Chains A and B, each alone.
Chain A
Amino acid sequence: MSVMTLNQTTTTTKPQIHIKRVYKHDINKLWTALTTKAALSNWLMQTTDFELREGQIFQFRAKPQGGWDGIVHCKVLSFSQPNSITYSWQANGMKKPTIVTWELKELAKNETLLTLSHAGFEGFGGWFTRQILNFGWKSMLRKKLTKHLLQ
């Protein structure tokens, strides 16, 4: 199950990506997947310098594509084992780092709710997204997206 919304928060009008998903796995197992170098390199992107330590600067690397050089510059901002980790996320083309937050909540034994937020889109991306939302394209594009996801 997964729920996705492109939010326009009322207080800041800044858009953010917000995805919730339930995993039939133990919370500690998810925590390990989210916070160890080997696991992250396996499912997210290659990282050689990730450490679970506040202030740790690290990079994700992937194959460059479509104007993206394949590198994401990150810094661990905070974490609370085994419930949340927040790091900055800056790819080329982003004027300011964006913020990625992973949250875990144990619903039952071997049932964990994961919430992923990607926020802080400033300047370009943010301005653009706001414009798109203002144009009233939100519902139209969401329909398109839903259709795409169902394909």
Chain B
Amino acid sequence: MRRDPWQALADPTRRQIIEVLNKAPQSVNTIAENFKISRPAISKQLKILEASALITIEKQGRERICTLALAPLEEVYKWVRQYELFWLDKLDDLEAHLKEQE
């Protein structure tokens, strides 16, 4: 089942992983080196990110390579954009309201 990306990103470690992957795709081992927590703990976090479709994990030889997936971020951007559009709409409504008061 696909997890909610917002929930997946509520955790600071997972956000840091995303930041690491923002620079370039990395192997699971390389990611683990960036963190003080254990390798299995990192794997667990990666699985959560993968289930939320925020990253993809691909096997390349002996390594497992994690890549950031941008689609869910775009989905969320729509939310931010809608907020801005909400205000722009409301400012039009304000204009209409002022005209009504004339």
Beta-carbon contact of B18 and A118 below 8 Å: no
Q: Indicate whether A127 sits within 8 Å of B9 (C-beta atoms), given known contacts A17-B83, A17-B84, A149-B88.
A: yes
Q: Which of B81, B87, B90, B97 contacts A145 (CB 8 A)?
A: B81
Is A143 among interface residues, defined by CB-CB distance under 8 A? no
Chain A residues touching B, range: 20 to 34
User: Which residues of chain B in 48-102 are interfacial with respect to chain A, using CB atoms and an 8 Å cutoff?
Assistant: 70, 73, 76-77, 79-85, 87-88, 90-91, 93-98, 100-101
In the assembled complex, B44 has its CB within 8 A of some CB on chain A: no
- The answer to the question of A53 belonging to the interface, with a C-beta cut-off of 8 Å to chain B, is no
Whether B90 lies near A44 (C-beta < 8 A) is: yes
* Partner-A contacts on B (CB < 8 A): 6, 9-10, 15, 18, 22, 70, 73, 76-77, 79-85, 87-88, 90-91, 93-98, 100-101
